[in-house]
Every structure is written in structure tokens, then in C-alpha cells.
Structure 1
């Protein structure tokens, strides 16, 4: 990739609209723009201050392509750290293409995906983790994913990693110095302080690694599996949550044969609700496949909603009620045993058909239960509150660093392994030259996160996922 070229791309989504923004960046940006932009006040862009906007026309020979606003950002005070011009034109596809083709014919080339942000990284405007956060910010579709991306883009995660790296680098320098004076048998790095630092780094890395499970689901939406026996109202509940007829509802048991998914944002967090096939013993081959998929989806879910039909105890005598509730408890316990690490919310559906006495009988036998009527849309708000509580999203409000990037997660794990090797070396009085090897490797991995250590393949993989024009 030639970073000396002047590049151009559409910075707004492709298609027609009220306006479109065409972005140019590079050392020749202003001189090229000067040739084809005619200010209404005959101003030359090269003579204007940075961060100014100018009204005029884009001219191709004698032909006026469009009346535009040109925003001027002079290096290094721009997104890329280079001279940047942004042309706000009318959103006609024809106008967009005419303007871009004019500049491509006269000294510009089309930008590669993510090339503007790559240049921002190469010019020190962003570190690598902040650059990756740009893509996450563009893709964010909920308050939670937006908040995580903004925290990373503002450097919260980078600062934490860089502080660890700098502390470790200081001690690494002392260890290396000891190796230079190995014949004198001197010790520059205080081993007690070094031990404390290694423990601190290990603790921070573990916390960041552990946060990935939470950060990843917040970024992509928290998967919630709605499970239970056939005909208990799972599809009706999904429809009530989404406020639309997403799933087919029928009085015939086993209507849902495949998993149905849709997303809903609750309190700024995206949830992916999965309506599954009812769990029961069946000889129907298609239904059996659906039930197998139910367990697969439940295994992938972060939260489980176990739904049962509370109306089955209606007008029964106490002995029958106890027997029925014991059967329900047994089914709930089977799910808990099969998925011990999953948080589960137990819901008694069709509560509108029960008397107060019957509801109390259920509460006495099944603890921590929520009553609702999906058909009548009763208790849905309380269910949403329970989901928010179970999701443990409070960490978002205290600015705790949360890892949501799989590359960061992978590199953090590698760094932790090397730190454990350093710890092993300290505990077993291994020679400083061997400890130094593990320290260097840990520093390498920590540097890969922020881009202090990088290579062309790594950058290519990261920025290939960006959209053109960013």
C-alpha cells in the first residue's frame, strides 16, 4: 500500500441522498482540490486556515459539476494527520461519480478499505486498538456496544495496556543491564518489586481476559434462549417482546420446528431472543431435529428463559397441583444440570387464568419465579427488568475496561502465558537471561495490541475489515 498517494473515497454510505461527502487525503490534496474548486469569493484553499468551510463549485473545464461546500483540514490537524479535504455535494449518484472520476483522472487514486484510518494510525493520530474501535463504533447498534467502542477509541484500554508495558519495560531494561554486568554478579532489578509488578500485571491481564465473555456478547447482542415444553407460549412470548407477529402461534403442540431469532434493545443493550422447539419425547423426525437444535442454541445462549404453562394446575385439587409442580421442578432441574453455567429465569405463563391462591401455591414450590401472560401482554415490563438485572450491565456505568475484540483477547492470553513463565522463573530462581526472553515476548504481545509492535500482515488483516472511505 502506497501511503504517499493522494486518496479519495466516498465517506458517506453509497446511494442517493440529500448530500454526500467525498474525502481526499494526502500531500497533494490541497493543490489538486485548488484546480477544480472555484470559491464564490475566489479564495485559494492553500491560503485558507485549517478547519474552515468554503462555498463554491466543482468545475471540470467549462462544465460546473455541482455547487459544494469544501471543508479544509491541514496537517497535522486532521483525522489522518495529512492534508484532508471533504467535499459536501448533492447526493445524486451521477454527481458523486462525476466528481470522484474527475479527481481520479487528475492525481488521486481510490482509497482501499480502512486506508484513511490506517494513515491516522501510521501518522500517530490513533494507536492500533483505537483504530479498531473506529470500526466497532461504526457498527455499534446499541448503547452498550457504542459505549464500549467509545471507551476504547478514547484510549481507556490503550492507556491500561501501555502503563503495564512501560512498567515491564523499565524492569526489562534493568534485567538486561544485569546481563551486561553478569561477571560482576550485581543486581539492578529489585526482586521484591519485580515480584509485585508481575503479580499486578497478571491480575490485570486476567481481569481483561475475563471481561471478554461479557464484552463480546454486549458487542454482538446477548443471546437469550426461550425454552420449555411444547405449547406453553414460547412463540407468543417472543411476539410480545418484539411487539410483532414474528413466530407462528398455534394451539397445536410442536408448531415451532426450528429456532426463530430476533433482536430487541432493552435499556441500551441488544438481546438476541431465540424461540426454540418445545422439549418433549417425540417420534417425529423433523420435530426431533428441532429439539436437538434447541439444546444447541441453549448451549450458545448467555441467558435462559424457562417457560411453563401455569394454567395446567387450574381447578385441580391440592394433591394434583403438588404432583404437577414437582414434574415442572424436575424438568427445570434437568435443564440446570445440563447447563450449569447458564443464568436462568423461570417464568409461569398464562398467569391471567390463575387465582391468587393458585399463584401462591406455585410460589411456595418454585422459588424466584416470574408470573406473566404473554397473550395479554402482562408482566413483559417486569421480564425486561429481570433480564437487565441478570445481564449484569452495571459495569458499563463505572467505566471499567471491557474487552470486546477477539484479536485483543487472543493476544492478551498469549501475554498472560509469558507473564506466567516470568513468574515461574522468579519462583524457581531461573537465570536472568532466560527470564529476559520471556519478558521480551510478553512485551512483544502487549505491543501488538496498541501497535507499538506491528507488521504488514497484521495491519492488512485489521484494516481489510473496514469500509471504504473510513
Structure 2
């Protein structure tokens, strides 16, 4: 599947900037670069050692396009495992396109999405899970997702899987050997040691599968719906959390007619806050649509913040309690944070009354910022970040999660077979299936369709 042609692409974001990097990879990368590069010192690129940088000009016939720095990475000591040239030019759109078009005319092909990383995988520079981590690293927008992507790109996840696969493969080989000597009635694979291995694999698989619940929210951000009646301070709270005037705030009930979303990082974790339309009975058609969307957003959220006006609690406490019960009953599995807003406008006696009647209530003044730190701490406490702090392997990729579930299912079959003294030939079938699913994760088992789906999500130039 490895193409032998030389590819070219812009490796930096498109658009004008101070510097742009154009990358070439393939067996003719250095020769093609040399045909259009004139070194200031008169050096010949093919005579230079790997990992060196050279100052010169990119020329097209007698025309000078730009003064550039040209970096050489010779195979196999490059990102792709092929000869790679990176040209650092000035960031003009015109210059970028002129250089790329020049190399296309000279025989390069425009790289497809993720093709540089695909070549790195096919040339054995990365396994498949590490290659996927490259895309996650590029997409990471908070500390936690960056940390997980870096760990996986360094091979933390794949090395753990590879070690288990190797041990399982060794036992599989011994069981297969027993089948060749079936008439001799001998056992090459120690069943006691095999059971211990299966228990260890089961433990690791369970831990990795369970980690996906945390990893998925860290990677994609945690959607948090801010709900409550109109004019209780939902938009003010959103603005305080974002530290900007993102939502319109007014004294007019029903100002927010549609949901407003924005994301911030709290303690390295991404949270996507959703300011929803106030929930109330209304005949306004537009506001009714907004309220309908509010319930849709609650369905999509993983955490619900219920906000109410503490200045109205004394007169409407029964109403608030009924609304809270409705939300709890309708969404029993969603964590619910109850906030009493505008506490700067009530006295200590009223605060004590609220806290005694609703023990889990948290106090807030979105206007002054009081209670916001407590709210953010409560949100972080909902996420089990212990594995992250302890630098444990965390699964974030749904493809890996699916393969781990399938491997776990097959390992359970092997475990059951050992407990019931199943024959070696039947044990071998389940072991092979488990090995297959392990191999799917690291790329020992793959196909063109799978690779196409994975690398199609990469950016051009990576």
C-alpha cells in the first residue's frame, strides 16, 4: 500500500502569516528540492547529512520565488521513514502557492489528509494507536486532552496492549503445539500459569474499558446545561464563567430565546456551558421553541446546573422544590448542581432556611462572583481525574474502546473454557479472536478501509 511517489503539502495552517512550512516526503524529495533550491553557500543538498538546515532561495527558472530555510531529514531517520524536506518560507499566500505549484509541476503529488502520518505508520515509525494520537494531539484544546494524547503518542497505551498480546500469543503457540501432538496427550502450556495470565489480562482490560468514561469526556469536553426560570441569572452566570459578555443580560424575562454555548477549561478539563431559555409557561411562539430546545440540551448534557432566584425562595419554595423533583425524576442519572443565585440580596436567616430545606444547595451571586470558585470545584469533583493525575493509561478513542470490549468478550470465553477443561482446539479459536482484536488496536491487524477512515480525519500536511 506504500506509494513510492513524492508528496507535497503545506504543513502549517492555511492563510497569511510570518512563516509557512511546506513539506515533501518520498524517495525523490531531496532531488526535487535540489532542482529548485539555490544554496547561499553553493552546497549540494544530496551531499549534506540528515537533520541539517540550509539557507538559500527557491527558484523557478530565472525567477526567484523566496529566500527560505530548507531542512533535510534522510530516511529512515525522519517522521515518515522516507526522505523528507521541509521548506520554511515567508507566510504570504502567494509564496506558498507558488512553491507548491512549482513542485507539483516537477512531479510531486499533493498529499491527501493524514498521508504523512499514514506513511509513518506503514514504514513502522508509529503503530496505529500512536498515529491516531497525533490527530488527538493536534485537536487537543485543554491540558487534560493534551496530556492523554502525549501519553498515547509516546506509546503508553499501545505498549501495554502489545505486552499482553505477546504473552497471550506465547501461550497460544504452546496450545497450537499441543494440537500437533494430540495423539501423545501432552500439555506444553501450563494451565495454572495460563489462568493467571487470563486473570491479569481481564483486570487490565476492565481498567482500560472503565477509563473510557473519563477519557471520552476529557477528549470531547463536558456539556453542562444551565437551566431555570427566566430572569434568575443564567446568562449572567455564563458571562462570569467565560469572563466575557457572551450572553445578553436584561431585566426582561425571556430575553434568552435560544441556547448559547461556549467552552472553557477548568483545571485542565474542557467544559461546554449551555445557557438555555428560561423554563416557564408562555404563549410566545418563539420563546416556546427556545424552551423546547432547553429540554433537548438537557438531554444532550452530562451535567445540569439548576439556578433559581434566592430572593423569591421564601414566597415560592414549594414551587422550586416541585421543579427540582421534576428534573431529578426526568434525568435521574445526570449529576445535578443546585444554585441559589442573588444571595447578595438576602439575609443570613433566609440563607439558613434554604440550606436546611435543601441541604445540597450551593450559594451564588453571579453579579459579584461569589460562589463561582465553589461551582467550578464542584464540576471538577464530578470527573474522576485520579487516573489522569497518576499518569495511568486512559482510553479516549471509540475504535479502541470497541476493540477492547470485543477482546474482553473473547477472554471471558477463554477463561470459561479453562474452568471447564475445554479442549485445546476450541480454546485456540477464542484465543485467536482475542489476539485479533488486540491487533486491531495497534495495527498488526488492519485493512485499507480502516486506514482510510482513520486518516481521512487528519489535516492535510500531517
Could you say which TM-score interval applies, normalised by the shorter chain? Answer: over 0.9
Deviation at 1:403, TM superposition (A): 1.0
How far off is 1:25 after superposition?
A: 0.9
2:25 corresponds to: 25
Corresponding residue for 1:72? 72
1:200-211 correspondence runs (5 A):
200-211=200-211
Q: CA RMSD in A?
A: 1.9
Deviation by residue 1:86-105 (Cα, 9 ceiling, x = unmatched): 11111112211221222122
Alignment match, 1:424? 416
TM-score if structure 1 supplies the norm length? 0.93
Q: Which residue of 2 is the match for residue 355 of structure 1?
A: 347
Rounded to whole Å, the distance in 2 between the matches of 1:213 and 1:405 is 11
Corresponding residue of 2:441: 449
What runs of 5+ residues in structure 1 fail to find an aligned partner?
314-320
Match of 1:337 in 2: 329
- For the residue of structure 1 that corresponds to 2:14, the secondary structure is coil
Q: 1:395 offset after TM fit, Å?
A: 2.6
Deviations 1:324-354 (A, max 9, x none): 4454334323322322222222111010111
Q: Match of 1:114?
A: 114
Alignment of 1:212-231 (within 5 A): 212-231=212-231
Q: Secondary structure at the match of 1:58?
A: strand
Tell me if structure 1 keeps the 8 A contact 2:2–2:119.
no
User: Which stretch shows the higher mean deviation, 381-390 or 345-354?
Assistant: 381-390
Kindly indicate whether the alpha-carbon contact (under 8 Å) linking 1:325 and 1:365 is maintained by their aligned counterparts in 2: no
Residue in 2 aligned with 1:307?
A: 307
Query: Mean alpha-carbon deviation: is it higher for 142-151 or for 384-393?
Result: 384-393
Q: Shift of residue 301 of structure 1? A: 1.7
Cα distance, 1:187–1:288 mapped onto 2, change above 3 Å: farther
What per-residue deviation string (whole Å, max 9, x for no partner) do you get for residues 378-422 of structure 1?
Answer: 322332222222233343221111111111112111211211222
Query: Which residue in 2 is equivalent to 1:295?
Result: 295
Matched ranges for 1:52-451 at <5 A: 52-282=52-282, 286-313=286-313, 321=314, 324-451=316-443
Tell which deviates more after alignment, 152-161 or 186-195: 186-195
What TM-score does the superposition give when structure 2 sets the normalisation length?
0.95
- In 2: Cα distance, 1:333 partner to 1:207 partner: 35
Residues of 1 paired with 2:21 and 2:187: CA distance? 60
Distance (whole Å) between structure 2 residues aligned to residue 250 and residue 424 of structure 1: 65
Counterpart secondary structure, 1:264: strand
What does the per-residue CA deviation read over 1:15-51, in whole Å, with 9 as the maximum and x for residues that have no partner? 1111111111111111222222111111111111111
Q: C-alpha distance in 1, partners of 2:401/2:259?
A: 30
Q: 1:133–1:153: 8 Å Cα contact kept in structure 2?
A: yes
Give the deviation of 1:146 after TM superposition.
Answer: 0.9
User: 1:316 matched to which residue of 2?
Assistant: none
Q: Hey, which bits of structure 1, 4+ residues long, moved more than 4 A? A: 281-289
Q: Matches of 1:281 and 1:427 in 2, distance apart?
A: 62
Provide the C-alpha distance between the structure 1 equivalents of 2:402 and 2:461, rounded to a whole number of angstroms: 28
SS of residue in 2 equivalent to 1:391: coil
**CA distance 1:194–1:326, shift in 2 (3 Å):** farther
